[in-house]
């Protein structure tokens, strides 16, 4: 063993001894079987860091370093990117942000809530949850439903 190996922290030595190696005939030297940071991979076990994740909007995975808590954290979409699930977003908040049915990564409120965009009073609706007032009622017996104000002493969703 070289003198440099004795200078490494004691916790790192067992990891170096356990690292599989092979002999490269062309280069006539021993080469590590693990991939380094930045190399393409498919599984954690392929990487020296034991961490294979996406690191951009590109779905290809690369070997990356672990966090100080020894976690593999993949890249997540910033606010404004199209999404389908909360886990895709850095903010962990995937919601409707406009009248469009598409959902986008968005920031949470100061109370750490994901509050989806809702329709304003007077807009056509089909369900209570579509409206800011949470009240979707027809204006008359034969008219389509619209978002309306809550009414009464207890602010209920009651027909006028």
Residues pairing with 63 in the sheet: 52
Is pTM beyond 0.75? Reply is: no
Return the pLDDT at 159: 75
Shared domain check, 65 and 48? yes
In a domain, 65, yes or no: yes
3-class state of residue 47 by DSSP: strand
Shared domain check, 81 and 52? no
DSSP secondary structure letters along 62-119? EE----TTS------BPTTSB-SSGGGBTTS-EEE-SSSS-EEE----TTS------B
Q: Tens of pLDDT along 111-132?
A: 999 988 899 999 999 999 889 8
In a domain, 45, yes or no: yes
The whole domain housing 151 covers 118-160
Shared domain check, 124 and 111? no
User: Structural domain tally of the chain?
Assistant: 3
In a domain, 25, yes or no: yes
Shared domain check, 110 and 65? no
DSSP 6: H
Shared domain check, 62 and 28? yes
In a domain, 7, yes or no: no
Shared domain check, 129 and 92? no
Dihedrals phi, psi of 91, to nearest 5 degrees:
-80, -10
Q: Tens of pLDDT along 52-106?
A: 998 887 889 999 999 888 899 888 999 999 999 999 999 999 998 888 889 999 9
Shared domain check, 106 and 147? no
């Amino acid at each position: 063993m070289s003198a440099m190996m004795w200078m490494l922290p004691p916790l790192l030595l067992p990891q170096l001894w356990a690292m599989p190696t092979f002999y490269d005939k062309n280069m006539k030297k021993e080469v590590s079987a693990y991939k380094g940071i930045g190399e393409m991979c498919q599984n954690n076990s392929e990487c020296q860091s034991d961490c294979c994740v996406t690191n951009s909007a590109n779905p290809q995975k690369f070997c990356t370093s672990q966090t100080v808590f020894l976690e593999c954290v993949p890249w997540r979409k910033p606010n404004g990117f199209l999404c389908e699930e909360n886990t895709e977003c850095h903010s962990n908040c995937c919601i409707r942000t406009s009248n469009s049915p598409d959902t986008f990564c968005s920031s949470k409120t100061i109370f750490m809530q994901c509050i989806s965009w809702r329709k304003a009073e007077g807009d056509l609706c089909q369900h209570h949850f579509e409206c800011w007032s949470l009240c979707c009622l027809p204006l008359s017996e034969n008219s389509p439903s619209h978002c309306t104000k809550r009414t009464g002493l207890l602010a209920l969703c009651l027909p006028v």
